[in-house]
Structure formats: structure tokens, C-alpha cells
Amino acid sequence: MSRAELVWRNAEAADASVVIAALDDWWQHEHMVHGVCPQLLDHVGDTCLIVEERGLLVAFLVGFMSQRHPDAGYVHYMGVRPDRRSGGIGAEMYTRFAALTRERGRTKVMAEIGAWNARSIAFHQRVGFVLKPGDEVVGGLPVIQDTTGHGVDYVEVVWTLGDASRDGPPAAGHPR
């Protein structure tokens, strides 16, 4: 099925179980601390994205408008099913979340990424995020030390939204 045939919609409380299953299945990292639950999606679903193919989850983005940072949208988790990666879906989710953020009068998107997740860090940089300073530099990355007791350090990233026509990676990649 082509990307054009995917169904895009906002999230509902009832989506929580498939999103949680995807978090367990698609990441396969032993210390996932995600906090996704039906109540969260009930209250922030208007700024979340669910992408489906024949009723099955292909990708999702859980994001909301930051309360502490009134100029920012925040992406809590986003992922693409392993068999549908590298097809532009991740970048399109960010283009759409950037539009939702702009519609709410905000000018940047913030996110955090596990420092172990080098592929996701590279993807975010490709989309337009920059790494924020951390507590220390580990393996060349500005890392913030674990706050959960699980030993998972993370990297903070921020994407300053400019002209909407420039969202996503430069054109010389996937067709989109």
C-alpha cells in the first residue's frame, strides 16, 4: 500500500492499548518509561497522530502543547512500524505536528531522545532539530543524566519552526 493510501487521524483514548503495544514491540529497549495511557490520549489526542493501513497501526505521534514552555509543542513519543521505516512517514508526522503547533501560536517543537538511540537522534537532526546543551558530554553527545533510576540518559532536542514550506528534511531524499 502506498503512503498516499494511509489513513491519518487524531488519537482517542481507545488507541492507548495499540500505542502501548507498539512502544513495547517497535523499540525493544528494556527501560521504556512512556506513561502513555487512555486518559492521556483522551485529553491530548487532538494534537496526537495515528497513522493506519487497513485498520492496523503504522505510525503514531503522542504530542501536546507544553504548559511550562508556552512557545513550544512537545513530542512525548513518536514511532513508525519497523517494516514502514525510511519511507518518509516519520518526517510527515513532524510536518503535521509542526502545523498543529503553529496553529496554536507556538514557534518551536521540543523532544527528548534516549542517548542510546543514535538512529533517532540522527533522524531528528535531519528533520531540523538541534541538540540542546546537557549536563555532560558522553560519546560526543550533550547528555542529561538519568532521572528515572533506570540508567537511561537522554538528549534534549529543539526544532525552531520557520517558514512552513521548509518543514521536514530538504527535498533531495524521499519523494514527498
Inter-residue contact 73 to 100 (CB < 8 Å): yes
User: Should residue 90 be labelled a site residue for ligand COA when binding is judged by CB under 6 A?
Assistant: yes
Please report how close the Cβ of residue 63 comes to ligand COA at its closest, in angstroms: 10
User: What H or E segment, with its residue span, contains residue 156?
Assistant: strand 154-160
Q: Answer yes or no whether residue 79 interacts with ligand COA by CB under 6 A.
A: yes
117 lines the binding site for ligand COA (CB under 6 A): yes
Give me 1's grid cell.
500500500
Q: Are 124 and 111 in contact (CB under 8 A)?
A: yes
* C-alpha cell at position 83: 517494516
Per-residue burial over 80-102, b if 16 or more Cβ lie within 10 Å, else e, is bbeebeebbbbbbbbbbbbebbe
The correct pick among 63, 73, 88, 128 for binding ligand COA (CB under 6 A) is 88
Does 126 participate in binding ligand COA (rule CB under 6 A)? yes
Q: Which residue from 50, 65, 113, 115 is in contact with ligand COA, where contact means CB under 6 A?
A: 113
Give the binding range for ligand COA (CB under 6 A) out of 11-19, 117-125, 133-141, 148-156.
117-125
Residues near ligand COA (CB under 6 A), total? 23
Rounded to the nearest whole angstrom, what is the least distance from the CB of residue 137 to ligand COA in the complex?
Answer: 21
